[in-house]
Amino acid sequence: MNNFRIGFGYDVHQLQEGYEFWLGGIKLAHEKGAVGHSDADVLIHVICDAILGAADLRDIGFHFSDTDPQYKGIDSKILLKEVMKLLRNNGYELGNIDTTICLQQPKVNPHIPLMKQCLADVMEVKTSQISIKATTTEKLGFVGREEGVSAYCVALIQTKEN
């Protein structure tokens, strides 16, 4: 019998000129980038939080503190790979994730296939297990003013079959 568990993730990063913009493991060309201790990949961060939450393994900040110098500027794909190891070492496997990115500019939809492939490779899952959607906020709020990016993720995990 499978033991299913659900986790949820939410994250926000400020956008500023002079920073690279990493999203879903790929670098987007844009005049602004996300600000953070790591590479500030908001999509990977919410995926990590949703998976960790589903497995009752706390959150990304607990495992990879933003005050720890070893994570300064780190590629978030490395963090995601570690989260997947934690998941599997605790007897779980990923069922699927469903994500939503809230971003006014740049347009995300053209990049979704490459993001899905990148994330699937890092997570060692099928691309069909990863859903990425994008929306604007119709120019409302900090996202609409292009001051930041936010993302949401729901993850379904299940106990590994022996």
Structure confidence at residue 12 (pLDDT): 97
- pLDDT value for 66: 85
Is the domain 4-159 a CATH 3.30.1330.50 member? yes
* Residue stretches of the annotated binding site: 11-13, 37-38, 45, 59-61, 64-68, 135-138, 142, 145
Give the CA angle between residues 145, 151, 157 to the nearest 5°: 175
Which residues of the chain fall short of a pLDDT of 70? 1-2, 162
| CB-based contacts of 1, cutoff 8 Å, min separation 6 | none
Question: Please, which residues have CB within 8 angstroms of residue 119's CB and are 6 or more apart in sequence?
Answer: 24, 25, 44, 47, 80, 130
Tens of pLDDT, residue by residue over 78-120, are 999 999 999 999 999 999 999 999 999 999 999 999 999 999 9
Q: Which residue ranges are tagged as binding site for a divalent metal cation? A: 11, 13, 45
Burial class (CB in 10 A: 0-12, 13-18, 19+), 140: exposed
Q: For residue 1, what pLDDT is reported?
A: 53
Contact 96/156 with Cβ under 8 angstroms? Answer: yes
Taking the domains of the chain in order of start, what are their residue ranges? 4-159
- Give the model's pLDDT for residue 86: 98
